[in-house]
Structure 1
Amino acid sequence: MVTLRLQPDDHRKVSEAIAKAEAASDGEILTIVSADSDSYHDVALHWAVAAMIGVLALAAWQAARLASAWEALFGWGEQASAGEVLFAAMVLAVVGFLLTLLLLKSRAVRLALTPGATKGRRVRRRAIALFRAAAERRTVGRTAVLIYLSLGEHRAEIVADEAVAKVTTPECWGDAMAELIGQIKAGQPGDGLAMAVEEVGEVLARHFPKTSEDVNEIPDKLIEL
């Protein structure tokens, strides 16, 4: 998986795109980029437990070979007892558990071995939490929209405030997400965010056209966590 990074010029591109989009709408657009949305340490633990169970299952399946190996190593020709075989299986299971945990100390390996559905849920959960902290009910008309990009998972989410959610559906953000995901795959997250801001701005302009009472309630900048 390609490691995505924002370049210094990406902040300027996104800020300019936000200012341009908001010039035609009473809506407010917030962009947040995070290195990842979760540590996924629980996923590492799940894999380690699975490895331990797998070793125990293999030991049960190949009990005779395990007994022979035990005899060769420690039995001096004597037949291994059931207790000795069980002990050997438990030792191997613990070793498998610890080696798997050691392997998964690498963030890149954890991300690679995390199921896509799990990544999707964690990214969505993080996006909603950030939206609630930074944008929800922060505008008079409840017209804020968050575009959230999680670089490690190569995933993005769009979360809208109350007034926007009432007049839109998730499909309304399809073009914005398509632009963003396409540029993520091309290794250009900054360009993707700027394009997504433009598409979100068009949706906001249709439903919340610019009025004389509008003020800029959320700074026009890219927030990088």
Structure 2
Amino acid sequence: MVTGMKKATSLLTDDEIRSIEAAIADVEKNTSAEVVPVIASASGRYDRAEDLFGLLFSLIVLGCTWGWIQGLAPVVDTWGASTASRLPMAAALAVLAVSFFMGMALTSHFPVLRLPLITKREMQEEVERRARETFQRLKIRKTEDATGVLIYVSLYEHMVHVVGDDTINAKLTREDWQTLCDTIITGFRHGKPEEGMRKGILRCGELLASHFPVAPDDANELVDTLYLID
């Protein structure tokens, strides 16, 4: 895409979505847990990075304008040659202000421009925050035995985060979730998001089945679907 940010809703074909949803159904044949995958276009707005880019852009534009217009025109008087400015202060401030907002508008349209100004920690915090919000919004916490799992993928940040309900977290560790995340990331890194998601979901099923095997009276409490959020 021109903007440098892939939209979640345009990432996969209909067949690829069905393949992922089939993997969810296969997993839940062997575990009582409920697995909900989500792919989001981005998790944060990163206004600070947008402001920083606007400031840097305005300074660059001002410097270029100064060099182009200034010209240092010679003024000769009785004491010899001196120089005079061709860019009044008011004009300089106007260039600074206009180019600042132009820089902010550019980052809104081309989000990739603010990436160098966002720290990895800031991205991680935004992804984790949005994953927790999504866990609540999709009512994953309301499963009867607290066995819901959210697999959250954020495209802009290139990050994956897993949120497990209380019962799940009592059995599985961060290392378990990291292996799942690494599986998904590998697929995306090689340009195969469908494969990464499907393998990640199946890996999640393997982790869950040993601790939460399916019961004879098990009911499917959450719909087996892939959520795409732009």
TM-score band by shorter chain is 0.7 to 0.9
Quote the Cα distance in structure 2 between the aligned partners of 1:44 and 1:192.
31
Deviation of the 1:135 alpha carbon: 3.5
Deviation at 1:78, TM superposition (A): 7.0
- 1:20-59 equivalent positions in 2, closer than 5 A: 20-52=26-58
Identity fraction in percent: 27
Moved more, 14-23 or 93-102: 93-102
- Specify the alignment match of 1:90 in structure 2: 93
SS at match of 2:209: helix
1:69 paired to 2:66:
no
CA RMSD, 1 decimal: 3.4
Listed as ranges, the gaps of 5+ residues in structure 2 are 76-80
Contact 2:152 2:162 (C-alpha < 8 Å) held by counterparts: yes
Most deviating of 44-53 and 8-17: 44-53
Q: Deviations over 1:121-169 (max 9, x none)?
A: 2222111110111144221110000011122332221111111112222
Q: Secondary structure at the match of 2:101?
A: helix
Matched residues, number: 216
Residues 134 and 36 (structure 1 numbering): CA distance in 2 closer, same or farther, change over 3 Å? same
Map of 1:204 onto structure 2: 208
Kindly provide the CA deviation profile for residues 16-47 of structure 1, in whole angstroms up to 9, marking residues without a partner as x: 11111111111110011122223434421232
What amino acid is aligned across from residue 104 of structure 1 in structure 2?
T
- 1:62 corresponds in structure 2 to none
Q: Measure the CA separation in 1 of the matches of 2:198 and 2:212.
A: 20
Report if aligned partners of 1:40, 1:110 keep a CA contact under 8 Å in 2: no
Of residues 153-162 and 94-103 in structure 1, the stretch that sits farther from structure 2 once superposed is: 94-103
More strand by share: 2
2:110 maps to which of 90, 98, 107: 107
Work out the CA distance in 1 between the residues paired with 2:220 and 2:45.
Answer: 35
Q: Secondary structure at the match of 1:207?
A: coil
Residue 214 and residue 86 in structure 1: after superposition, are their counterparts in 2 closer, same or farther (change >3 A)? same
Q: Give the letter aligned to residue 128 of structure 2.
A: R
CA distance in 2, matches of 1:10, 1:123: 24
Q: Deviations over 1:76-110 (max 9, x none)?
A: x87558xx875565345335423422432323434
In structure 1, stretches of 5+ residues that fail to align are 60-64
Q: Which of 117, 123, 126 is 2:130 aligned to?
A: 126
Aligned with 2:218: secondary structure?
coil
Amino acid at match of 1:97: F
Report the AA paired with residue 191 of structure 1: E
CA contact (8 A) 1:7 1:190 kept: no
Partners of 1:51 and 1:111 in 2: how far apart? 11
CA distance in 2, matches of 1:47, 1:10: 37
Partner Cα distance (1:219, 1:145) in 2: 13
TM-score, normalised via structure 2 length: 0.78
Residue 14 (structure 1) aligns with: 20
Whether contact under 8 Å (1:13, 1:191) holds in the other structure is: no
Give the corresponding residue for 1:137. Answer: 141
Amino acid of the residue matched to residue 202 of structure 1?
A: E
